[in-house]
């Protein structure tokens, strides 16, 4: 018997019955952090001869982490989801607890990470990611970019696992080069209000490269541009959930400045495909993943108004925030040539799919 066999909760049949009978009751009634912090919550079944690849996804209860968990389970992996629910929600992964190949650890990655047994891959996606979050939690944002990344890299080194870390287009700051290539070093204000997120991700990239060069860890770095889709938090402050929730409620769509600043929006399924391909590639330097279809914020607001068709909704102009990027568009040449990746979802299709989700979660009145 292997050492990790002591972690078996029950044989497959009994575990399946337990999850089916009691899973919904447990997660509806005991999801409070005071219960979840007692010990890692783990639902796992192992049996002799299992050869599936095993992957850890940090930030698994978040928007991107939950979609990645779906994808890797569908690809036949054993998935370990880790989250401290600072910004994530168990609602995003509750449907996975019945899966025999899914485990969940309630854990803060800024603390030491221990995963028993083998580990083939790590996706480090734990971090506050919206302006509201990292302005309210600046220290936690810096810590997860520094301590959290360090812990994940140390785990990858110990396990001999390949790790992909989630960086962001924010490392380019308010760019002076357009569109942004991976070779552009950026224009970031390290002491501005957005600096905690920008610099946390720049440090994440630096320490990842250090572990690759000094320790020989297999690393991958993705720079994610604006992404949208189901499971975005309604109140996370980013432009798409803000516009949809405001339009559905018949409120003013908050447009900062004159709305001439540009963004490029990538549907979540396209992003997940790019992450999957990059993880399994042999390229260790940063790669942009995003949709290069660029649009002004004002144009985007009108697209949302046209889709939602709420006559009470209107445009509400507000002052432009400090260090708000004036333009954002990825150069995806590397993703195209190295990964054979291109976005498949046009914005009209992606917005319709996302609108269907927001209609179910936005409360009116």
| Tokens describing residue 123 | 């996706």
Q: Within a 13 Å sphere around the CA of 28, how many CA atoms are in the beta-carbon half?
A: 7
Sign of the CA dihedral running 189, 328, 236, 140? negative
Q: Helix 347-361 crosses helix 239-249 at what angle (to 10 degrees)? A: 60
Active site residue 197: yes
Q: Are 237 and 302 in contact (CB under 8 A)?
A: no
Q: Is 316 helix (H, G, I), strand (E, B) or coil?
A: strand
> Which residues are within 8 A (CB) of 17 and not within 5 positions of it... i.e. 6 or more apart?
none
CA dist 42 and 34 (Å) reads: 16
Q: Are 278 and 289 in contact (CB under 8 A)?
A: yes
Sign of the CA dihedral running 286, 290, 295, 301? negative
Q: Which of 42, 224, 58 is nearest to 144 (CA)?
A: 58
Q: Within a 13 Å sphere around the CA of 288, how many CA atoms are in the beta-carbon half?
A: 26
CB-count exposure of residue 70 (10 Å: 0-12, 13-18, 19+): buried
CA dist 48 and 1 (Å) reads: 9
Catalytic residue from among 197, 228, 267, 276: 197
What is the phi/psi pair of residue 97, to 5°?
A: -65, -15
Q: Are 303 and 240 in contact (CB under 8 A)?
A: no
Q: Is 164 helix (H, G, I), strand (E, B) or coil?
A: strand
Q: Are 98 and 116 in contact (CB under 8 A)?
A: no
CA dist 94 and 90 (Å) reads: 6
Locus of tokens 């959930």: 241
Q: Would you please indicate which residues are annotated as catalytic (active-site) residues?
A: 197
């Amino acid at each position: 018997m292997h050492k990790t066999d002591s972690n078996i909760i029950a044989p497959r049949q009994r575990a399946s019955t337990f999850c089916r009978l009691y899973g919904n009751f447990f997660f509806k009634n005991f999801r409070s952090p005071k219960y979840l912090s007692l010990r890692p919550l783990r639902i796992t079944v192992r049996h002799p001869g299992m050869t599936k690849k095993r992957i850890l996804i940090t930030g698994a209860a978040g928007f991107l982490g939950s979609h990645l968990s779906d994808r890797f389970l569908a690809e036949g992996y054993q998935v370990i989801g880790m989250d401290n629910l600072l910004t994530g929600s168990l609602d995003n992964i509750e449907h996975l607890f019945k899966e025999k190949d899914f485990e969940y650890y309630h854990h803060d990655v800024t603390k030491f990470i221990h995963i028993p047994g083998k580990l083939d891959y790590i996706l480090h996606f734990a971090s506050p990611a919206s302006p509201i979050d990292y302005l309210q939690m600046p220290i936690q944002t810096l810590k997860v970019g520094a301590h959290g990344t360090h812990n994940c890299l140390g785990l990858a080194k110990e396990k001999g696992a390949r790790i992909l870390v989630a960086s962001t287009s924010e490392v380019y700051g308010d760019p002076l080069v357009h569109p942004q290539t991976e070779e552009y070093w950026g224009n970031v204000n390290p002491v501005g209000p957005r600096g905690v997120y920008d610099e946390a991700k720049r440090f994440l990239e630096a320490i990842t490269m250090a572990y690759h060069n000094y320790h020989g860890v297999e690393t991958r770095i993705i720079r994610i541009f604006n992404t949208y889709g189901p499971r975005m938090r309604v109140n996370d402050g980013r432009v798409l959930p803000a516009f949809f929730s405001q339009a559905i409620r018949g409120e003013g769509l908050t447009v900062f400045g004159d709305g001439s600043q540009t963004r490029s929006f990538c549907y979540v399924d396209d992003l997940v495909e790019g992450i999957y391909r990059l993880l399994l590639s042999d390229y260790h330097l940063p790669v942009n993943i995003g949709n290069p279809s660029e649009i002004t914020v004002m144009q985007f607001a009108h697209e949302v108004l046209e889709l939602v068709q709420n006559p009470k909704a209107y445009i509400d102009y507000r002052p432009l925030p400090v260090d708000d990027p004036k333009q954002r568009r990825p150069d995806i040449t590397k993703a195209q040539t190295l990964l054979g990746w291109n976005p498949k979802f046009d914005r009209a299709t992606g917005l319709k799919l996302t609108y269907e989700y927001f209609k179910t979660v936005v409360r009116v009145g």
